[in-house]
């Protein structure tokens, strides 16, 4: 009975205007202005954007260009310190750190946490590699590794991994949309071995 009434209302045009207005509204929501578009992720073969970020527990800064011509660099972006998956990721690298040092790689964990929070996280988890704070979100923007909204947190880093060769070019790039998906550590190590 209700279906027949809806069909009759559709046929005489009573509902068409509402549906069209709703459709236009949804289409407008799906369009983004250039300022709202997501930055494309850095890709293999391109020159890596330079970074200068405060290091956890130090007055020093991590500057990617300081390693050009010296050694390859692994950049590991992660959403937030102390969350279960992020902690598991950083501890996985810690537990296998010799695989990276044997390949002469500099490893840097990067999140939007403050350098003070990262210093505590690094100490509590006994992480032997540097942690850099992208509190102002410059690196996540430059590398296309930023969630606009992750469970209500705006501008958090996506879980991403980049291997930068001694020449400053990207050898490996992985940006995960799924926050629970860890980087492919074997692929990262293979890229380092070929560097």
Maximal C-alpha separation, the chain: 77
**Cα-only R_g, the chain:** 22
CB 159, CB 77: distance < 8 Å? yes
Choosing from 48, 86, 161, 164, the catalytic residue is 86
81 by DSSP, 3-state: which?
Answer: coil
DSSP characters for 141-168? HHTT-B-SEETTEETPBPEEEEEE-TTS
Cα angle 101-105-111, degrees, rounded to a multiple of 5: 110
CB 130, CB 107: distance < 8 Å? yes
The residues with which 146 forms a beta bridge, in sequence order, are: 157
What are φ and ψ of residue 65, in 5° steps?
-65, -20
* Distance, CA of 113 to CA of 186 (rounded, Å): 27
Residue 86 a catalytic site member: yes
Cite the active site residues.
86
């Amino acid at each position: 009975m209700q279906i027949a009434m809806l069909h009759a209302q559709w046929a005489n045009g009573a509902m068409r205007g509402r549906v069209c207005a709703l459709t236009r509204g949804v289409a407008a929501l799906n369009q983004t202005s250039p300022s709202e578009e997501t930055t494309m992720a850095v890709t293999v073969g391109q020159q890596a954007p330079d970074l200068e970020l405060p290091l956890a527990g130090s007055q020093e800064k991590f500057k990617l260009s300081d390693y050009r011509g010296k050694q390859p660099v692994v950049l590991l972006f992660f959403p937030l310190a102390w969350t279960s998956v992020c902690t598991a990721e950083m501890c996985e690298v810690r537990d296998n750190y010799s695989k990276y040092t044997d390949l002469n790689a500099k490893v840097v964990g990067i999140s939007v946490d403050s350098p003070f929070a990262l210093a505590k996280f690094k100490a509590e988890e006994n992480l032997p590699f540097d942690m850099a704070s992208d509190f102002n979100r410059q690196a996540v923007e430059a590398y296309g590794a930023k969630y606009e909204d992750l469970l209500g947190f705006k501008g958090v880093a996506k879980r991403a991994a980049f291997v930068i060769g001694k020449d400053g070019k990207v050898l490996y790039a992985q940006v995960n949309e799924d926050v629970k998906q860890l980087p492919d550590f074997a692929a990262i190590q293979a890229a380092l071995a070929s560097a």
